[in-house]
């Protein structure tokens, strides 16, 4: 599991972002985008003053989606015909007018959202959940990070441990995550931490979510206006974050953890349906893995020597530690959980011989050209 920031570093960055951020609600007819081969800017008038902000990647994706432009074509225009992109975007801003929330950080538009988007911000979330985590006996924050799109806090409970197999112990935990830019709800997801390799697996089952949907912000005669009501926001969201705190306090559930461990034991007895190279290739296609990720997973599978479903799952979570990007590493931990959630075959085997005994091991004599081609 990637470490990310220390808790102190996370707190300092959240405080810095709080001071640097700006939120606006704007009529799209008053917005103008201008693109060069290097960047796009969005102009708007706020309190009779012209403001100009760079457009970030997430905001570009959200603008394309909202205007019904396929993102691949949007990118092509951005790279090869900037004037055409501006003509498309600015025309649809005029012809399909609406109020949009525009979130800005460090002079960059980081999100282009509905005016019903409920701002559930990272600092308030931490203020709600960190005291709850601190009171939990055996709880330890093992990793936390703030990325361009998400906040992550990963916690394990050292008091809740079980063995999947002899010498292969796991601990229960959970992940709290939030997106301030409209890329997901507030989530509390079960986490299993494998001690032998320090891998984390985010379970698909039993996750809890709270969505960023609130009251619609009324229209204003101004071209754009900034939202300053921090105290109002705190009061409005107090009960919401209390509920999130309750979910966190119950996140490490012994019964659910045992069900997960039992499921992991079952996957140890499920052989891969295809040869390892083909299995990793199919996995890459299903989850849109990069060539580098695909190679890392195969290498970890080969290194572990276990070609059961359990071995594949562990290869994926081990590969997550090789990602340079924290966000992507977390994605791979979730893919490990997707593998765990796959249906277990119900077919019976000949009496007197367990399926585990029939699962072959990867041979160290396996041709290295297969490893390279993976």
Burial class (CB in 10 A: 0-12, 13-18, 19+), 177: buried
Euclidean distance between CA atoms 85 and 77, whole angstroms: 5
Tokens representing 155 are 């916690």
Number of Cβ within a 10 Å radius of residue 36 = 11
Residue 273 DSSP SS3: coil
pLDDT value at position 347?
Answer: 61
CA 180 to chain centroid: 12
Tokens representing 11 are 């707190």
Contacts of 143 (CB under 8 A, 6+ apart): 1, 2, 3, 4, 152, 153, 154, 200
pLDDT value at position 212?
Answer: 52
pLDDT value at position 104?
Answer: 96
Number of Cβ within a 10 Å radius of residue 206 = 15
pLDDT value at position 35?
Answer: 96
Is the pTM here over 0.85, yes or no? no
Q: Quick one: DSSP state of residue 29?
A: G
Residue 227 DSSP SS3: coil
Residue 169 DSSP SS3: strand
Residue 241 DSSP SS3: helix
Euclidean distance between CA atoms 142 and 311, whole angstroms: 24
Q: Does residue 84 contact residue 98 with C-beta atoms inside 8 Å?
A: no
Q: Does residue 123 contact residue 18 with C-beta atoms inside 8 Å?
A: yes
Low-confidence ranges of the chain (pLDDT < 50): 213-229, 348-358, 364-374
pLDDT value at position 329?
Answer: 96
């Amino acid at each position: 599991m990637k470490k990310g920031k220390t808790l102190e570093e996370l707190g300092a960055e959240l405080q810095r972002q709080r001071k640097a951020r700006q939120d606006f609600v704007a009529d799209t007819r008053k917005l103008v985008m201008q693109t060069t081969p290097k960047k796009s800017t969005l102009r708007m008038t706020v309190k009779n003053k012209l403001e100009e902000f760079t457009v970030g990647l997430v905001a570009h994706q959200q603008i394309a989606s909202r205007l019904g432009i396929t993102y691949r074509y949007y990118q092509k225009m951005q790279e090869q015909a900037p004037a055409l992109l501006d003509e498309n975007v600015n025309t649809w801003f005029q012809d399909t007018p609406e109020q949009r929330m525009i979130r800005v950080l460090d002079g960059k538009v980081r999100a282009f959202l509905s005016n019903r988007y409920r701002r559930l911000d990272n600092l308030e979330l931490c203020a709600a959940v960190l005291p709850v985590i601190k009171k939990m006996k055996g709880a330890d924050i093992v990793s936390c990070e703030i990325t361009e799109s998400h906040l992550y806090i990963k916690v394990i409970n050292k008091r809740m441990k079980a063995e999947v197999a002899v010498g292969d112990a796991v601990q229960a935990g959970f992940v709290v995550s939030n997106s301030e830019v409209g890329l997901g709800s507030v989530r509390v997801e079960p986490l299993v931490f494998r001690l032998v390799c320090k891998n984390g697996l985010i379970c698909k089952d039993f996750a809890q979510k709270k969505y960023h949907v609130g009251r619609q912000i009324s229209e204003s005669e101004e071209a754009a206006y900034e939202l300053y009501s921090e105290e109002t926001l705190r009061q409005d969201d107090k009960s919401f974050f209390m509920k999130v705190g309750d979910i966190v306090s119950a996140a490490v559930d012994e019964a659910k953890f045992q069900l997960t461990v039992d499921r992991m034991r079952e996957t140890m007895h499920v052989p891969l349906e295809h040869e390892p190279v083909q299995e990793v290739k199919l996995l890459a296609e299903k989850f849109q893995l990069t060539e580098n990720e695909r190679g890392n997973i195969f290498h970890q599978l080969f290194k572990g020597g276990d070609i059961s479903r359990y071995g594949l799952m562990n290869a994926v979570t081990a590969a997550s530690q090789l990602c340079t990007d924290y966000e992507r590493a977390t994605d791979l931990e979730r893919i490990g959980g997707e593998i765990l959630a796959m249906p277990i075959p119900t077919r019976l085997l000949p009496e007197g011989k367990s399926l585990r005994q029939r699962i072959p091991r990867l041979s160290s004599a396996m041709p290295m050209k297969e490893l390279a081609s993976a």
